[in-house]
Amino acid sequence: MTVIQKKPDNPIAHLSAEDIEIIGKELDAIRERVLADRGEADARYIRNVIKTQRTLEVGSRAVLLFSLFPPAWVVGTLGLSIAKILENMEIGHNILHGQYDFMRDPKIHSTTWEWDHVSPADQWKHSHNELHHRYTNVLGKDNDLGYGIMRVDEDQKWHPMHLGQPLWNFLNACFFEYGIAAYDLELGRNLQKGRHRDPAFRARVRAVGRKIRRQVLKDYVIHPLLSGPSFLTTLAATFTANLIRNLWSHSVIMCGHFPQGVETFEKTSIEGETRGEWYLRQMLGSANISGSRLMHTMTGNLSFQIEHHLFPDLPSKRYQEIAPQVRALFDRYGLKYTTGPLPKQVASAWWKVIRLSLPNRRSTQPADGLPTRTLATTGA
Amino acid sequence: MTTTVPRSPARISVRDRLLRLAETVTTPLLPEDYLDLIAPLRAGAALRGRVLAVDPETRDAATLTIQPGRDWRGHAPGQYVRLGVDVDGVRQWRAYSLTSAPGRRDGRICVTVKAIPDGRVSNHLVRRLRPGTIIHLDQAQGDFVLPDPAPTRVLFLTAGSGITPVMGMLRAGAHTRSDVVVVHSAPTVDDVVFGAELRALAAQGAIRLVERHTDTDGMLGVDELAGLVPDHLERQTWACGPVGMLDAVERHWDAAGVARRLHTERFRPTVISPGEGGTVTFTRAGLTVTADGATPLLDVGEAAGALMPSGCRMGICFGCVVPLRQGAVRDLRNGELTTAVPGDGVLIQTCVSAAAGTCDIEL
The per-residue pLDDT for A188 is 85
Residue A177 touches chain B, beta carbons under 8 Å: no
Residue B283 and residue B261 in one domain: no
The complex's ipTM? 0.89
Chain B residues with a Cβ under 8 Å from any Cβ in chain A: 21, 24-25, 27-29, 33-34, 37, 86, 88-92, 311-312, 314-319, 321, 333-334, 336, 344-347, 349
Distance, CA of A84 to CA of A115 (rounded, Å): 10
Q: Which residue from B15, B19, B17, B25 is spatially nearest to A222, judged by alpha carbons?
A: B25
Residues in chain B within 8 Å Cβ distance of A207: none
At B175, which CATH number? 3.40.50.80
Output Rg (C-alpha) for chain A, integer angstroms.
22
* B210 shares a domain with B287: no
Do residues B157 and B261 both lie within one domain? Answer: yes
Query: Domain holding B348: CATH number?
Result: 3.10.20.30
Walk along chain A (380 residues) and give the pLDDT tens digit of each residue.
577 777 888 889 999 999 999 999 999 999 999 999 999 999 999 999 999 999 999 999 999 999 999 999 999 999 999 999 999 999 999 999 999 999 999 999 999 999 999 999 999 999 999 999 999 999 989 988 888 889 999 989 999 999 999 999 999 999 999 999 999 999 888 988 888 889 999 999 999 999 999 999 999 999 999 999 999 999 999 999 999 999 999 999 999 999 999 999 999 989 999 999 999 999 999 999 999 999 999 999 999 999 999 999 999 999 999 999 999 999 999 999 999 999 999 999 999 999 999 999 865 444 443 333 344 433 32
Q: What is the domain range of residue B311?
A: 278-361
Q: Which residues of A touch B334 (CB under 8 A)?
A: 28, 32, 35
Q: Which of B137, B168, B187 is the last residue of a domain?
A: B137
Question: What pTM does this model have?
Answer: 0.91
Task: Show residues of chain B in contact with A48, CB under 8 Å.
Answer: none
Q: Tell me how far apart the alpha carbons of residues A379 and B266 are, in angstroms, rounded to a whole number.
A: 61
B188/B215 same-domain check: yes
Are residue B207 and residue B257 in the same domain, yes or no? yes
Query: Within a domain: residue B168?
Result: yes
Q: How many structural domains compose chain B?
A: 3
Query: Inter-chain contact B321–A35, Cβ cutoff 8 Å?
Result: no
pLDDT (0 to 100) of residue A5: 75
pLDDT digits (tens, 9 = 90+) for A273-324: 999 999 999 999 999 999 999 999 999 999 999 999 999 999 999 999 999 9
B9 pLDDT band, cuts 50/70/90, is low
Are residues B131 and B157 both part of a single domain?
Answer: no
- Considering the domain architecture, whether residues B236 and B207 belong to the same structural domain is answered as yes
**Residue A340 is inside which H or E element, if any?**
strand A339-341
Residue B226, in any domain of the structure: yes
* CA B179/CA B176 separation, integer angstroms: 8
CB contact set of B234 (below 8 Å; sequence gap of 6+): B153, B258, B261
Chain B CB within 8 Å of residue A271 CB: no
Instruction: Mark yes or no for CB contact A39/B89 under 8 Å.
Output: yes
Among partner residues A104, A115, A226, which is closest to B91 by beta-carbon distance? Answer: A104
Domain boundary among the residues B216, B243, B265 is at B265
B14-31 per-position pLDDT tens digit: 888 888 889 999 999 999
Interchain proximity B24–A218, CB inside 8 Å: yes
Mean pLDDT taken over chain B = 93
pLDDT, tens only, B54-109: 999 999 999 999 999 999 999 999 999 999 999 999 999 999 999 999 999 999 99
Residues in B touching A115 (Cβ below 8 Å)? 28
Q: Inter-chain contact A129–B311, Cβ cutoff 8 Å?
A: yes
Which residue among B82, B106, B137 closes a domain? B137
How far is A240 from A246, CA to CA, in rounded Å?
Answer: 10
Cβ separation A125–B88 shorter than 8 A = no
Per the CB < 8 A criterion, the answer to whether B74 and B103 are in contact is yes
Same-domain status, B157 and B258: yes
Which residues of chain A make contact with B321, given a CB cutoff of 8 A?
Answer: 98, 101, 110-111
Instruction: Judge whether B40 lies within some domain.
Output: no
- Amino acid identity of residue A199, one-letter, is P
Is B99 domain-assigned? yes
Query: A343 CA to chain B: closest CA distance, Å?
Result: 30
Claim to verify: residue B292 and residue B351 sit in the same structural domain? yes
Do residue B28 and residue A107 have CB atoms under 8 angstroms apart? no
Chain B residues lying within 8 Å of A28, measured CB to CB: 333-334
Residue in B359, B355, B361, B358 with CA at minimum distance from that of residue B294:
B355
Residue B195 belongs to a domain: yes
Chain A interface, mutation test: which of B26, B88, B325, B339, most A Cβ atoms within 10 Å?
A: B88
Please tell me the distance from the alpha carbon of residue A153 to that of residue A265, in angstroms, as a whole number. 10
Tell me whether the omega of the peptide bond preceding residue B151 falls within 30 degrees of 0, making it cis.
no
Residues of A in contact with B88 (CB under 8 A): 39-40
